[in-house]
Structure 1
Amino acid sequence: MDRKISHSSRLFLGLIFIILYLPIFFLIFYSFNSGGNMYDFESFTLDSYKELFADTRLLIIVLNTLLIALLSALISTIIGVFGALAIHSFKKRSTKNTLLSLNNVLIVSPDVIIGASFLILFTMAGIKLGLYSVLLSHIAFCVPIVVLMVLPKLFEMSPSLIDAAHDLGASQFDVFRKVVLPYITPGIFAGFFMALTYSLDDFAVTFFVTGNGFTTLSVEIYSLARRGISLNINALSTLLFLFTIILVIVYYFITVRNKPNGMGVRR
């Protein structure tokens, strides 16, 4: 019976992966089509990639996207870590749950509502739509993600570690630097990479708060797709997919490397 269940589970898992990845591989396959369409594959070519790298405007958009993603991930990680520490510091369980619920509002709310809210806010505040409006919006919806990644590590940490550090004469800053920070490092890395991925992937919120002369890859791909089928979109999507895989691999090796360092007091 167990074998049958195991075999059925594997088949189901394989089917799910096929459904998820088949369209992606289909897109990648036709990015090398010399026919210029996604119907008949004529021969292998790199023309779409050559055109992509020759497009100066698109390269600037790629740099804009990476800049926004890295800055928003870095800033939101810093804010999110201190936010998680603040929530964890409250003694009352009801207070923690209330703050955590407020933190989750931006995660569970529809992107369209969040984007429209930020658009109204920036318009009322007189902030010009562009780099800063996109950056502030990305930071805002990335912070709750970081908090959710860091909080579980704080809840796992035994209070005896902090008490032992104080008994050894460590100051409050030393406790944070040598005990708390090393312990929650895997959560910090997880939050950073999650924020980076969310920022790179976001379309709905960015679509509302971006202005003339500034855009990101998600908005640009949407604009290109509306004009019709172009293999440049396939080539660009292929590169983004490969970049995402590299991020996942880097995150995996970093978390594996930091696992043994999450316990005990560092001197």
Structure 2
Amino acid sequence: MQTNSTHPLNDKSALYHKSIVYSIVGIMLIPILATLVYSLSSTWGATILPDGFTLDWYIQLVTDPRFIAAFGRSLVVCVAALALSVALILPTIFVVFYYFPKLDKLMNVLILLPFAVPPVVSSVGLLQLYADSSIPIVGTPWILIGTYFTIALPFMYRAIANSFDAINLNDLMDAAHLLGASTTQAFFYIIIPNLKKGLLASLFLSFSFLLGEFVFANMLVGTRFETLQIYLYNMRQTSGHFTSALVMTYFSFIFLLTWLASRLSRSNNEAKS
């Protein structure tokens, strides 16, 4: 005797949950779609639909030297901060997991300390600390790189630590030592390649987060080193169509980075399984 595994109540429940999820997603997409339409409209006043569509606002944006410079500064600061994070956090996690595994719990607590202090408080503290310093870094990209480095640490540490948990570190190191490789050689030629996808996923996620950071950039450097978020803030008084095009360009870039990180993380999980 065969029984039908699909119960009508289960179908109704699944349909109900899907409708709730789709409704929430639809509501969240409304302001994004409205911003997109506004950025493509020539004029949009009291009418329901725009009077016409144009790409002039996007052309004006990508041909603005100030936007190109601000975007380039953001890329430089974010890449430098992430490079510093990888150079310091990757060997640190290796030492913790291979030599001192009991310190992992302590590291999980310490790594969250940057989130314990609000950005405004941290910015004021940094300004007071380095205002009278012999090293003039206030108002320069160096203080922003150092600050972004601390912000990226929790994302980088947690993602890379999860990758270390999945690769059987001790077994790989023992096998490398049996084959005559030193600890340094095993780290660079065996461990790092096994962490590649998890490392890239953490880099993309951290980069997308840092690119949208505003409080530290505004308080520590401001217009003296105009990043993308400072540029967006300074251009808020211009045409709404132009700022909408800027927001959509920024959103599309962040969406692409998040999608790439999700794909890399998914492929990494599939490889583990």
**TM-score, normalised via structure 2 length:** 0.83
Instruction: For residue 184 of structure 1, report the CA deviation from its aligned partner.
Output: 1.8
Corresponding letter in the other structure for 1:201: G
Structure 2 residue corresponding to 1:143, chosen from 150, 153, 165: 153
Which has the higher mean CA deviation after the structures are superposed, 33-42 or 46-55? 33-42
Structure 1 range deviating more: 119-128 or 146-155: 119-128
Structure 1 residue 215: Cα displacement? 1.4
What secondary structure sits across from 1:213 in the alignment?
Answer: helix
Match of 2:172 among 161, 168, 171: 161
Which one of 170, 190, 202 corresponds to residue 201 of structure 2?
A: 190
Aligned with residue 41 of structure 2, among 33, 41, 48: 33
Q: Which residue of 1 aligns with 2:62?
A: 53
What secondary structure does 1:31 align onto? helix
Please identify the structure whose Cα radius of gyration is greater.
Answer: 2
Q: Is the 8 A contact 1:33 1:42 kept in 2?
A: yes
The answer to whether the 8 A contact 1:49-1:232 is kept is yes
**Identity of matched residues, %:** 20
Deviation at 1:258, TM superposition (A): 6.3
CA distance in 1, matches of 2:180, 2:18: 54
8 A contact 2:201–2:260 mirrored in 1: no
Q: 2:31 aligns with which of 23, 31, 49?
A: 23
Going from structure 1 to structure 2, the CA distance change for 1:257 and 1:145 (only over 3 Å counts) comes to: closer
CA distance in 2, matches of 1:147, 1:38: 51
User: Are the aligned partners of 1:36 and 1:231 in contact in 2 as well (CA < 8 Å)?
Assistant: no
Whole-angstrom CA distance in 2 between matches of 1:151 and 1:38: 54
Match of 2:74 in 1: 65
The aligned runs of 1:43-122 (5 Å cut-off) are: 43-89=52-98, 91=100, 93=102, 95-122=103-130
Question: Unaligned regions of 5+ residues in structure 2, if any?
Answer: 1-8
- CA RMSD in angstroms, aligned pairs only: 2.7
**Structure 1 residue runs without a partner (length 5+):** none
CA distance in 2, matches of 1:87, 1:38: 62
Assess, with a 3 A threshold, how the Cα gap between structure 1 residues 109 and 86 changes in structure 2: closer, same or farther: farther
Conserved 8 A contact 1:81-1:188:
no
Could you tell me how far apart the structure 2 residues matched to 1:90 and 1:144 are?
21
Does residue 1:3 correspond to 2:14, yes or no?
no
Q: Is the aligned partner of 1:176 residue 2:220?
A: no
Distance 1:59 1:200 in 2: 14
How many pairs does the alignment contain? 261
Instruction: Give, as a single letter, the amino acid of the residue that structure 2 aligns with 1:177.
Output: F
State the shift of 1:131 in Å.
1.8
User: What whole-Å deviation, never above 9, does each CA across 1:132-172 have from its counterpart, x for those lacking one?
Assistant: 22222112211222111101111223222222222222211
Contact conserved, 1:185 with 1:258, CA < 8 A, in 2? no
- TM-score, structure 1 length as denominator? 0.85
2:64 is aligned with what amino acid? D
Question: How has the CA–CA distance of structure 1 residues 195 and 101 changed in structure 2, closer, same or farther, with 3 Å as cutoff?
Answer: same
